[in-house]
Amino acid sequence: MRGDRRAAQPCDVLDDIAGLAGKWVRRFAQTKSERAREWCAQFMSETKCRACGGGRLRPESAAVRVGGITLVELSSYTVAQALEFMSSLELTGAQQQIASEVLKEIRSRLGFLAAIGLGYLSLDRSGPTLSGGEAQRIRLASQVGSELTGVTYVLDEPSIGLHQRDNRRLLDTLLSMRDIGNTVVAVEHDEETIREADHVIDFGKGAGVQGGNVLYSGPPAGLALCEASLTGAYLAGRKSITRGEAARVADKHLRIVGARQNNLKDLNVAIPLGVFTAVTGVSGAGKSTLINEILYPALARKYHQAEVDVGEHVRIDGTEHLDKVINIDQKPIGRTPRSNPATYIKVFDEIRSFFAALPLAKTRGYGAGRFSFNVKGGRCESCQGDGVRQIEMHFLADVYVPCESCLAAASTRRRWTCNTRASRSRTCSI
């Protein structure tokens, strides 16, 4: 170091780190770029608040006791435990008069959660740790608890990801919503749901251009008699899913030792390699925790240096038999509205490379980005490659209209193509 500058002290280093952390936090909060947000998130992790210990309440609020326990202690109870406590809670005098209606509402809502099989969930369980089936049933329970009537509920495949036991509870909830005077419309493929419906509308015959026709509309019993319906053929037993060849036997295994994330209780699991393995069980049993929070993140860290949090476990044995891991989930396939299946599977990369290799493109110095609707210089700047323009309606939903610049450019290309073809035809005829 130069003599006129003092050596950096430990406190200076800490100040620099604190300043850098503040910069990251500000960028994470202010950026509109999903990629920048993901980059900042890799340096962050959640820890319990040292002031409240994860209770989320200030000391004065956390000190109040009702029935001998605080709100923080009550939040750590499961739904079943909280319902038992609230049902046995006895208040007298002014307390009873003040809390009577509140207690009635609390008992009612806890009862709905317990009735649909969520009695094991703790009240302070964070939303992101819930399985899809759990989150869906909680939303349904809130609607049942509101006791609204004359409402039309539209559900898109509500049974997806549910165990058959939970499926029955879901159906009971939907039927109770119908029985109090509501209309329930569900898009479904599940056989039990179809048979429980009062009215079935079946579309077909196939997907895409082969669909778009109503094949049957009426009671579920009549659907099985509809010869044109593929759904009816399976309901009637004319078609069935048959098992293929005999199951394979694995000689190598991936062993997860001491898994204890969320509700996993020091679990040891051996997953066979080279075979098709199904991880099943009732909703909330810990399937997603084991696979999505422990196994995949651990392998992604090992093979791809991914910056992801790994759930609590002791070790994973047998990783020497693998060389990569690929996670296929149900998240959107692209980060922007311009993404589509062709861009996702890299087909457009080859098409753009082909266009960039043409003699005229080389003469003008065009690269592959010149033919991309994701890159500035190739895309239409009026709509930034979206093809539509968003018009904010403030108090109403936003309106999307086709981009005038794109339409004008397409019209010009069509006229140029027609003129070129006509000129070629005249040349040929001469």
Q: pLDDT category, 303, cuts 50, 70, 90?
A: very high
DSSP E strands: which ranges in 131-252? 152-156, 183-187, 200-204, 213-218
For residue 400, what are the β-bridge partners? 390
- Does the pLDDT at position 4 exceed 60? no
Q: What residue type is assigned to position 420 of the chain?
A: T
- Does the pLDDT at position 412 exceed 60? yes
| 333/28 Cα distance (integer angstroms) | 22
Q: pLDDT category, 336, cuts 50, 70, 90?
A: low
Q: What is the pTM of this model?
A: 0.68
- Which H/E stretch holds residue 110? helix 93-115
**Would you list the DSSP string of 33-94?**
-HHHHHHHHTT------TTTTT--S-HHHHT-EETTEEHHHHHTSBHHHHHHHHHH----HH
132-146 and 93-115 helices, crossing angle to 10°: 130
Q: What value does the mean pLDDT of the chain take?
A: 83
- Which H/E stretch holds residue 177? helix 164-179
* Per-residue pLDDT, 13: 43
Cα separation of the two ends of the chain: 84
pLDDT tens, residue by residue, 184-214: 999 999 999 999 999 999 998 888 888 889 9
What b/e string do you get for 119-143 counting C-beta neighbours within 10 Å, with b at 16 or more?
bbbeeebeeeebbebbebbbebbee
User: Do 258 and 264 meet the contact criterion of CB atoms below 8 Å apart?
Assistant: no
Q: pLDDT category, 426, cuts 50, 70, 90?
A: very low
CATH number for 56-125: choose from 2.40.110.10, 1.20.1580.10, 3.40.47.10, 3.40.605.10: 1.20.1580.10
Q: pLDDT category, 260, cuts 50, 70, 90?
A: very high
- Does the pLDDT at position 143 exceed 90? no
- Segment 240-250 shows an average pLDDT of 82
CATH no., domain 341-429: 1.20.1580.10
| 228/151 Cα distance (integer angstroms) | 33
pLDDT tens, residue by residue, 69-83: 999 999 999 999 999
